[in-house]
Structure 1
Amino acid sequence: MDDLLAQLDARDASVQQETAAIVQEVVSNGDIDTRDSTAKEKKDPRSRWRARQARKAQALTDAAPASDADADARLQREAEEEEKTIKKMLDTLDLEMHEINPDGHCLFSAVADQLALLGILSGPKANYVTTRHAATGYMLSHSEDFLPFLPSEIGDDIMSQKEFEGYCATMRDTGTWGGEPEILALCRVYNVPIHVVQSGQPHVVVHDPNGADAADDDLKHAKACRISYHRRMYGLGEHYNSLRPRLHGIHRVTSPLKNLVS
């Protein structure tokens, strides 16, 4: 296990430059002209996705209220409470947090890290590209399991088949954040439970490929992917990290985020 963790840490270092470049691109293009994006959106799914993201960002900026000291203090308290609750669960489960880069691929990168620990993925295949393709491929071939839970963007009904195919293409090819549908697809396509540690109740959400519930003892000892879900800790909205076995007697901080900014 020690050698495997060392290999995973080394692999993380190799992707940091790529992530830094992505972050720099986002920063450099923070003032994307939505008119230009609209002109491009007929060309390909990536251009359409960029246009939607630009419009959403502009709408959020326009709607943002002036700074509120009370609201800021409340968010800070919520972040601290979230961190405290998740840390307590990690102590109970004998896990440590491995921070994943907040580049939109966090769910898929966290699951890829876990699949590498379990020996399900190895080498260069243990990355978000592999898990994005696996999840969306499964979703497309089992659309009846996912369509009822995905609302249409153009009405009050569920997505049409065409919308669903576009949704999967965007999820596969861009940095769109993944969520519950993608977690379900990942646990089924790799046939392994995914345990999500969070501050809300229940503190461990079990996604089982067969729909089974996990006993309390299984939360610690069962073969499963273990990730954490954060709403407040990073100030970035929703985020996922990978949870690795704790090495007793050794205090490890595995944080590519810190390495990026140090």
Structure 2
Amino acid sequence: MPVRVGLIKQLFSPPLPASGAPVSEPPSTASAPEPEDGDDLLDDLISQLEAKDGPMQAEDAKVLGEVALSQQAEAEGAPGAGKKMSSKDRFKARQARKAEALAASYLPPDPATDTRLEQEAAAEDSQIRAVCFERHLELWQCPPDGNCMFTAVADQLHLLGLLPAADARPEVTRRAAAQYIRAHPADFVPFLPSVTGEDGQGATDDGLMTSLQFDKYCEKIERTAAWGGQPELLALAKAFRVEIDVVQGGTPSVVRTLPGDAQGKWPVAAISYHRRMYGLGEHYNSLRPMERHTLLPHLLYNHKDIHEHLHPHDPHPHPHPHVVQHPTA
């Protein structure tokens, strides 16, 4: 049977009216539990899809995709289209986009798409390696388990002498990030999405998280394998007083997260951000100082790639400075 109909109905059901208080206000004393949000329903759908074999996954994903497209068309073509969409229609359209993306991730492989993604992954890897070469850094692989960003930062903090080896693990950096965010809600709430946006269950009119949602977010960051992003990087930079440099493909090649206003006076933790290393999944690795025994192979074999990255308009790479060039007779 295709994915559970009840879940799809819940996924596209309009939210209840806003009832929570913004984080800046005292938490509500109401004892009623917060309704299940759309992200939780999507997680349930993902679990159901992953539990099935390939043909059933494809069938269910196709059904989910068709429902999503239908719901999105219905929401966007509702009476009064062209005017501001109602809360109900915006919620349905947003959930439809989420479900469509979920469905696409479970459809059968497409050779053309696979080839394109492989090319993008290779280009991204080349760009990241070029920046690492400039800085004499090399990748230290972090497991793709949802903790990668926290693992990468923990490794860097250990290299900087800010964490002992026993504490260089994601549980420690997760706890530090969550504690800092909890202690400074005004610095983070404007940048944290409400569970389902400004029209979500319990969200305020300005779309800010309620106190309950904020607590739930911090708990999720601290105690689960939830993926970390820019808010958590900022929290870690401030908590440990370090600059965190994220090397990535594209422009800019390095994104700096500073614990304060001034640049250059902080210890620097270097990590890499990959959009294509594991297919469509985003991933972080730690960037360690390049070992001497690995530096020479980089110099010999990566010179052409590095030169093309640093000098894209020069069709004639210069001889490598560390390779002696003997004149010909």
Q: Output the TM-score relative to the length of structure 1.
A: 0.70
Equivalences for residues 218-233 of structure 1 within 5 A: 223-233=267-277
Which has more radius of gyration? Answer: 2
Q: Select 1:67's aligned residue among 95, 109, 120.
A: 109
Q: Which has the higher contact order (CA 8 A, sep 6+)?
A: 1
Q: 1:10 is matched with which residue?
A: none
Distance 2:116 2:280 in 1: 16
How far did residue 200 of structure 1 move?
A: 2.2
Deviations 1:120-141 (A, max 9, x none): 0003111111100000000001
Residue identity in the other structure for 1:54 = D
Name the CA shift for 1:233/1:154 in 2 (closer, same or farther; >3 Å).
closer
Q: 1:92/1:105 Cα in 2 relative to 1: closer, same or farther (>3 Å)?
A: same
Cα pair 1:206 1:213 within 8 Å, conserved: no
Instruction: Give distance in 2, aligned partners of 1:115 and 1:101.
Output: 17
Which whole-Å deviations, capped at 9, do the CAs of 1:98-141 have from their partners, x for residues lacking one? 00011111111110000000000003111111100000000001
Alignment of 1:234 with 2:278, yes or no, is: yes
Partner of 1:184: 234
Q: Distance in 2 between matches of 1:192 and 1:213?
A: 10
> Which of 39, 43, 52 does residue 53 from structure 1 map onto?
43
TM-score (norm 2): 0.57
1:149-191 Cα offsets, whole Å, 9 max, x none, are 1111233212122211100101100001101000000000000
Q: For 2:196, what is the secondary structure of its paired residue?
A: coil
Say which of 171, 176, 185 aligns to 1:143: 185
Who is 1:246 aligned against?
290
Amino acid at match of 2:111: A
> Which of 103, 113, 116 is matched with 2:158 structurally?
116
Structure number with the higher helix fraction is 1
User: Are positions 1:199 and 2:189 aligned together?
Assistant: no
Cα separation, 1, equivalents of 2:174 and 2:287: 19
Deviations 1:220-246 (A, max 9, x none): xx7311000001012260110000001
One-letter amino acid matched to 2:141: E
> Residue in 1 aligned with 2:316?
none
Does the C-alpha gap of structure 1 residues 59 and 159 become closer, same or farther in structure 2, counting only changes over 3 Å?
A: farther
Q: How many residues are matched?
A: 205
Distance in 1 between residues matched to 2:288 and 2:181, nearest whole Å: 27
